[in-house]
Chains A and B, each alone.
Chain A
Amino acid sequence: MKITWKTEISELVNVENAVGMVRDANSRLKNLLEPRIDALELEMTLGGLSKQALIFDGVSPLYNKAQEIMTAYESKLTEFVNFEKEVETAATEKRREQLLKLQSAIKAQLEALKASKEYFLEQAAKMAENQGVYYDRYSTAADYRQYAETTQESITALEPKLEQVNIELGKV
């Protein structure tokens, strides 16, 4: 994705959205696995998977097996939580990156617009004094002033976006 000053902030990575997708999936996964984990814990505590349920020479193979399974479940849930965090981090970083790019692009655009405005105003002044504008037979000083005003309008419209980007950058 190429970031320009025209890029809207909404087009950038939405961290909340990305993390939300993972968080939602994580919630569904918990709803799916936690009952099983609870059942395992119950059976391992009181049921047939307890250490006392089946013992062979002091070893409780069923309990150990259940422990392995439950550990695997818990590790998967933890892994999914970590995945959510990683996505959040990556999205945030990406958003920051995009915001920085957007900030840079907006700043560059603002600089260009401001330079253009200055140029138009300068030309308008020269036209008014009849100096140096011999090559533009079709434009008048009023026209350059109009260009400068239009450019200023663009600058005025773009500066809040830069401020917004700065704010967003402050968030990420």
Chain B
Amino acid sequence: MAIIGNVDYERIKQSATVLEECAPSEKDNEWLIIQDLVNDDLKKESKKHDGYLDSIIAKHRDWAALSKNNTAYREFMVQVKKIGETWENIDIGVGGEVLSGLTKIDEILGLEGENKLSEMYVSHKQSDIEFHTNAEEIEGFISSVNGEAYDDKTKEWMDGLVKSTGGTAVKGTMVSLISMVQNIMAPEEEQVQQDPPQQNTSPSTATTTTNHQQPATNNYSYRVETPESNTTTNTPEQQTQNKVESSTEQEPPQTQTPSKDPTPSEEPSTGNNESNNTGENNNTSGNNNTNNNNTDDNNTGDDNTNADKDETVKPTPDPDTNNQQGNNTTGNTNQETPPSSQTNTNNGGYNTSYNNQNSNNGVTPSTPSNNENAATTTPSAPDSDAGIKDNSGETLDVISIDKETETSNTTTTTDDGGNVIPIVLGVGAAGAAAVAGAKYIKDKKQKENTYEDENSEGEDSFSYLGNYQEDTSPDKSYKAGNVNKLVLDEAPKDLKIEEGMPEISNQKEELE
């Protein structure tokens, strides 16, 4: 086992701070001034006496070396501080690239050849690498030295360090993190980390790494665990009923409904409607972002999830999972994402990324929500939904219409989400189609509660949701315009409006 680094961040940073205070830049040339003054006086005296000190002054007048050392000293202080920050970022964030950090240190320290830390890191890439942290020792040291000067910032930093080290002064606690980073840096980005325990050892750092560099890696391991989360009592039917009963404000859960099958489909094109842990994934993403305890409860062990894979996963309607989704999604305070009627007001924070990643949420059919707080907690529809207006439930209606038109045609591929609207509308102008579809659905919804029936139909409807979500990349915002683009790009050209839906054609004509 090669020990490459033994880092004591706080000490390094503290040293840098102390050194900076001891050597203000304005005074760096003070001794040069002193020397110049005395040299001038001595030269006058020496000149008056035939320059008897000329040789001595000339001998000691070369203060460039001192100035050089002074510059090196100042640079050194800055470097020490940089090193501390670099290592802090490496260990706590782990989001920072280790190799780049080591390369930076190589430059700072002027290491070359075999002494380069980056080279060492690469050479030891397959072996265990330990970054030593000693949080308790550091904390005790700081407390003893600084006393009250142990400010909040330091405490915050220490908390992060302790957290990163698993709460104890640990030698080698970063092994798992480094291995994660190695995996991230490895060419196989597709590798799925099958060892959740490692990640659990350092949850905070692990989450950060997954978020930054390898979003999709860990989903599956947790998915296997997720069946535990299916403890919700609500059946999908009940959920749908609840949704129908709920006011129009009840918006479908942003998260895709998790499928009963724990096996996730990594590839978006696979079109597995059954494999859906997306709800869990969504939850996990939320956990990553917000570290909400609530999400943990809801998600049951979904610590590491990557939004990308979440998108790829195609949800299948599980009542149980829906509950989880509802819990998760409800926490989302994001205005853009349509909140599920099942709303946990607690989960507000982390959903932005989730929403961005899962733009499908608005499109996804609303998961049945038992939450009474839905009205209050439901976020407002995204601005992009303005065309569709009102709640995301309308968007769900759009999907439901699609389902009505072509329930059998639902596919798991990402294209399916785009196909939904053209299948329904059969119109080239997707924007108009979307608006028309929304209106139609709204009207239809008011007249008939067909949505319940469709939702009750089973997985197909949810598969639409899953497909649609997969279609939307995380970057894609939840906007009707995006949907239209998807439709235009990917919609089959030969699609036609079913004659059994005259209302759509009427609306089409109106729009045209």
Contact = CB atoms under 8 A, between A and B. Distances in A.
A115 interface: no
Interface in B86-138: 87, 109, 111, 117, 120, 132
A79 B59 CA distance: 11
Contact of A61 (B69, B84, B109): B109
A48 B49 contact: no
Given A32-B31, A54-B83, A61-B109, A13 B49 contact: yes
B429 interface: no
A46 B42 CA distance: 42
Interface in A77-97: 79-80, 82-83, 86-87, 90-91, 93-94
Interface string B6-23: 111011111110110011
B49 A53 contact: no
A103 interface: no
B47 to A, nearest CB: 9
B30 interface: yes
Interface string A1-30: 100000000001110011001101100110
A47 B83 contact: no
A56 B4 contact: yes
Chain B residues touching A, majority SS: helix
B397 to A, nearest CB: 61
Given A36-B22, A48-B16, A55 B5 contact: yes
A12 B6 CA distance: 63
Given A29-B31, A65-B109, A69-B69, A87 B42 contact: yes
A73 interface: yes
Contacts of B16: 48
A22 B42 CA distance: 8
Given A1-B48, A25-B37, A39-B18, A54 B42 contact: no
A169 interface: no
A62 B109 CA distance: 8
Given A40-B19, A48-B14, A91 B53 contact: yes
Interface residues of A, number: 50
Nearest to B31: A29
Contacts of B35: 25, 29, 80
A149 B66 CA distance: 63
B65 to A, nearest CB: 8
A50 B11 contact: yes
Contact of A29 (B10, B34, B53, B69): B34
A13 B8 contact: no
Interface stretch (B72-80, B223-231, B359-367, B445-453): B72-80
B189 interface: no
A28 B34 contact: yes
Given A48-B11, A52-B8, A86-B59, A36 B69 contact: no
A69 B77 CA distance: 11
B15 A54 contact: no
Contact of B15 (A1, A22, A24, A48): A48
Given A33-B31, A48-B13, A94-B49, A62 B117 contact: no
Interface string A57-79: 10001100110010011001001
Nearest to B28: A32
A98 interface: yes
Contacts, number: 147
Interface residues of B, number: 54
B15 A21 contact: no
B76 to A, nearest CB: 6
A81 B13 CA distance: 34
Contacts of A40: 19
Nearest to A50: B11
A31 to B, nearest CB: 9
Contacts of B12: 48-49, 53-54, 62
B41 A21 contact: yes
B148 interface: no
A42 interface: yes
Nearest to B144: A46
Contacts of B13: 48
A78 to B, nearest CB: 12
Which of A29, A53, A94 has most chain B Cβ within 10 Å? A53
Given A43-B15, A47-B15, A48-B11, A55 B6 contact: yes
A53 B5 CA distance: 10
B21 to A, nearest CB: 8
A90 to B, nearest CB: 5
A73 B45 contact: no
Nearest to B13: A48
B38 A91 contact: no
Contacts of A57: 2-4, 120
Contacts of B11: 43, 46-50, 53
A49 B72 CA distance: 15
B60 interface: yes
A132 interface: no
Given A39-B22, A86-B56, 9 more contacts: A35-B22, A40-B19, A48-B14, A54-B5, A54-B6, A55-B6, A56-B5, A73-B69, A83-B56
Closest 6 CB pairs of A and B: A48-B15, A48-B12, A48-B11, A25-B38, A55-B6, A43-B15
Interface of A: 1, 12-14, 17-18, 21-22, 24-25, 28-29, 32-33, 35-36, 39-40, 42-43, 46-50, 52-57, 61-62, 65-66, 69, 72-73, 76, 79-80, 82-83, 86-87, 90-91, 93-94, 98
5 contacts: A17-B45, A32-B34, A47-B14, A50-B11, A69-B72
